[in-house]
Amino acid sequence: MTDAAWFSEPFRPEGGSVAEGIRKQLGRPDLDLLAILVRESAQNSWDARLADRGGTVDYRIDLQVVGPAQRTNWKEILSKGAPLATHLPIRETLNRSIIRLMSISDRGTSGLGGPTRADKAVTTNLDFVSFVRNIGAPRDRALGGGTYGFGKGIFYRVSKPGTILLHTRCRVGDRLETRLMGCALWQNYIAEDATGERPYTGRHWWGDVSGDVVEPLTGDAADMMAKRLGLEPFAPDETGTTVIMLDPSLDDREPTVAADYLAETIAWHLWPKMLDGAGGAPAMRFSVTCDGIEHPVPDPRETRPLNLFVAAYEGMKGPQRKRLKCHRPKKDLGDLGLVKRVVPPFEATAASRMVGIENLVHHVCLMRPAELVVTYRPGPKPPSEFQSYAGVFRGVEEMDEVYAAAEPPTHDAWNPQSLEYPASTFVNTTFRRINEELNGLLELGGNVRPGAAKIALGAASVRFASLLGGAWGTGGASDYGKPGDTRTPPTDFRTGSGDIKPTGPSVGGDAEDGLGVLVPPERMPGTGGGDAVAGGDRGPGAGDSGTGTSDFGRMGRDAPDARAGAGPVRRPRVEYVSEPYFDERSGTPVLIQEFRLPVPGAQRVRIDLAVAITGAGRETEPPIGAAMPGLVGWEDTTGNLFGTPKYVIEGGDGTIWRAVVRPAPDTMTEIEVLVEAVNR
């Protein structure tokens, strides 16, 4: 049987790479170690895909402990020839009663093939030596996700003893070969050997030490050793790689919590690979387990707010995409898709906060042609917590080298300051063009007729005065769901199980216009055989007939306050007590206009809603197939909701009422509460 043991690399006369330097090549990134691990490992898997065969890459993360049957084998096999604990703490890990592992595996990939020695690496396939031996090797795949091989240092940083095992199956000529090798990075040190004191780089390898260079176990020897360690074997015709990190650092999370975080992190950073491609299958399939239990990876199409980025991605690939260009020098930069929606705020998670997204989305996802998320670049904040927008920018293939060169080792930013002209100009212009498109997306205006309520969101600028954004979007329906909710959003509040239910009695009202009454109104006793209107605008012949008209008085219009056979009366009016704001009813975003009726007496209120058209007035009749804003009902101070289009309220007592309005998709809503007096 092949003799497997540890080998520690001494410094050669020409020098060498120090372990600490390799571990620190990732710098001080904004992302945490687990997020970087997901990004770097998935990028490696994508770059290793079997492109000539097509198909989907399977990517899996497993958190597990070494079983009792293999624990002795792990200690015996991996302790042989191990350095002192002060030089590499692998022995401490193996002596524990519980040995925890994190494995990241891919299938449908090529495995780590090519030569196993760096001095023999004269072929095109350098996967093994690039991962195991060399540092900073440039990518050898066009339009790949990686650039230079610094990102592999994350595997050693996640392992507390800085130790990993590589279990890979690759094609060598016309046959398949299994390879198994251990690698460790810790810190440089000085130790004594037969010749005296000698410096060591802090790099260590475990494998076949029978020759002049430590080599991986291969073929049957690798398969037998993997079986003794309890590693999952490869299927007969399967290729791929499994990287096993000993005693992983989970940032003080319990393993099950870490598994959930990893699953959600996959969704945030790799969602483009989860979407169905031209053949109907996704580019990559992802799974996460902890001690054999599956922790599902969220579906970005069904998960808020990732579904906004999916919609923007689809727009970026569709006919409405915007091609961004640089004019000096002249160059196409990439394609941009944008969507904007009214959605309830979502509850931020650890994974969303890690990418800089709290409960409000106002970001553009940047990616290169490989369609791996680089970062979520924030834009101007929308005027309301119920308004969000998302964008996706993908660089064109001709610009891939420029954007790749702007990335740090963690590939999570584009830094134009690190580039020279004209590359720096291209990246700066990309950001400027994106900002221009976002400014256009948020540029709202409109004409509001005289007398309409002067409404503005508290967080909005002056351009939002008298307007409320409805569900604004560039195609597609509004998203009214809660985080993780996949139900069809409600569009009709009138009947059915989705109605907002009443909780108490009403004062009175009329059921008209087909909306239905959520709380049955109790008609107040009238006089003279019916409801007489007073204080409204006078209709034709009103003064002659001695009766009031049935027209509703509008705010800001002057009309005589008169009633046949009576002296002057105070004209009913509406007093708005707050600016309209977004709220939520039964999980659905609505607009709220609070008001009171300062004039005593019974008065009937109704709502006048319209869509404000940018630069073109208002619209009260929707185009074919389009929606209009609608009244949900009138809400009193105790929360009772009366779903009738007209409602009788007793004025003069200072009670604050709320008009609850359902906004229409892709619109800005104009609200006016109208009132008329009712003669009881």
Of 442, 471, 494, which residue is a domain's last? 442
> Are residues 415 and 486 located together in one domain of the fold?
no
Q: Where are the beta strands (DSSP E) in 108-222?
A: 163-172, 175-185, 189-193, 196-208, 217-218
- pLDDT, residue 621, reads 58
Q: Residues 349, 235: one domain?
A: no
* Cα–Cα distance for residue pair 43/407, rounded to 1 Å: 14
Query: Strands 581-585, 630-635: parallel, antiparallel or unpaired by DSSP?
Result: unpaired
**Residue 233 belongs to domain with CATH number:** 3.30.565
Residue 334, phi then psi, degrees to nearest 5: 170, -175
Cβ within 8 Å of residue 488, ≥6 positions away:
none
- The confidence score (pLDDT) of residue 326 equals 95
Tokens 């703490």 belong to 89
How many other CB atoms are found less than 10 A from the CB of residue 526? 13
**Would you state the pLDDT for residue 58?**
96
Residue 254 burial by Cβ neighbours in a 10 Å radius (0-12, 13-18, 19+) = exposed
Q: What is the end-to-end Cα distance of the chain in Å, rounded? A: 104
The pair of three-digit structure tokens given for residue 568, joined into one six-digit string: 């002057």
The rounded distance, in Å, linking the Cα atoms of 1 and 431 is 59
Tell me which DSSP letter residue 12 carries.
B
Q: Taking the alpha carbons of 6, 10, 12, 18 in that order, is the dihedral positive or negative? A: positive
Question: Residue with structure tokens 């709202």?
Answer: 444
Tell me: do 275 and 323 sit in the same domain: no
Beta carbons of 59 and 286 less than 8 angstroms apart:
yes
Q: Under a CB-based contact definition with an 8 Å cutoff, are residues 455 and 580 in contact?
A: yes
The reply to whether 10 and 74 lie within a common domain is yes
Residue 312 sits in the same domain as residue 289: no
Interatomic CA distance for residues 368 and 146, integer angstroms: 11
Cβ-contact 310, 300 below 8 angstroms: yes
User: What sign has the CA pseudo-torsion 288, 291, 294, 300?
Assistant: negative
Please give the DSSP secondary-structure letter assigned to residue 279: T
Query: Long-range CB contacts (< 8 A, 24+ apart) of 421-427?
Result: 422/329, 422/331, 425/326, 425/328, 425/329, 426/326, 426/331, 426/333, 426/399, 426/402, 427/402, 427/403
Q: Is residue 269 part of a domain?
A: yes
| Cβ-Cβ contacts under 8 Å for 76 (sequence gap 6 or more) | none
Domain boundary (413, 442, 471) is at 442
The token pair that represents 426 in the structure block: 């291209």
Q: Is the dihedral of CA 607, 608, 614, 619 positive or negative?
A: positive
What local confidence, expressed as pLDDT, does residue 136 receive? Answer: 61
Residue 456 domain-assigned? no
**Residue 46 belongs to what H/E stretch?**
helix 33-47
- Counting as low any pLDDT under 70, the low residues of the chain are 1, 25-27, 52-53, 121-123, 136-151, 443-569, 587, 612-627, 665-668, 680
Q: Is residue 451 domain-resident? A: no
How many domains does the chain contain in total?
Answer: 3
Give residue for tokens 């970062």.
375
527-568, pLDDT tens digit by residue?
A: 333 333 233 332 333 333 333 333 333 333 333 343 444 445
Residues 6+ apart with CB under 8 A from 200: 8, 9, 10, 11, 87, 188, 189, 190, 191
Residues 346 and 478 in one domain: no
- The pLDDT tens digits of the residues spanning 274-283 come to 998 777 889 9
Residue at 124 is within a domain:
yes
Q: Are residues 531 and 673 in the same domain?
A: yes
What's the pLDDT score for residue 143?
Answer: 46
Residues 351 and 288 in one domain: no
Domain holding 66, by residue range, is 4-294
d(Cα 320, Cα 343) in Å, to the nearest integer? 23
Q: Are strands 284-290 and 163-172 parallel, antiparallel or unpaired?
A: unpaired
pLDDT score at 444: 42
Distance from C-alpha of 365 to C-alpha of 375, rounded to nearest angstrom:
6
The rounded distance, in Å, linking the Cα atoms of 24 and 398 is: 32
Among 488, 492, 485, 469, CA closest to 477? 488
Q: Rounded to whole angstroms, how far apart are CA atoms 266 and 351?
A: 9
Indicate if 272 and 335 belong to the same structural domain: no
pLDDT of amino acid 21: 76
* Locus of tokens 């003794």: 228
- Residue 364 is inside which H or E element, if any? strand 362-367
The pLDDT value given to residue 69: 85
Looking at residue 384, its pLDDT comes to: 72
Predicted model pTM: 0.70
Q: Looking at the structure, do residues 34 and 175 belong to the same domain, yes or no?
A: yes
Residues, the chain: 680
On whether residue 454 sits in a domain, the answer given is: no
| Residue 453 included in any domain | no
Residues 6+ apart with CB under 8 A from 432: none
Residue 300 lies in a domain: no
For 422-524, strand residue ranges (E) read: 468-469, 509-510
Residue 365: DSSP 8-state:
E
Residue 48 lies in a domain: yes
Helix, strand, coil percentages (3-state) for the chain, rounded to 5, are 20, 30, 50
HSE, side-chain direction, 13 A CA sphere, residue 312: 30
CA distance 243 to 378: 34
Q: Are both 277 and 336 inside the same structural domain?
A: no
pLDDT of amino acid 185: 93
Q: CA 637, 640, 641, 642 torsion: positive or negative?
A: negative
Short-list 146, 135, 125, CA closest to 47: 146
pLDDT value, residue 499: 35
Same domain membership, residue 589 and residue 511: yes
Tens digits of residue pLDDT in 590-624: 888 999 999 999 999 999 988 765 444 455 555 55
DSSP string for residues in 244-274: EEESB--TT--HHHHHHHHHHHHHHHHGGGG
Looking at 409, 442, 475, which one is the last position of a domain? Answer: 442
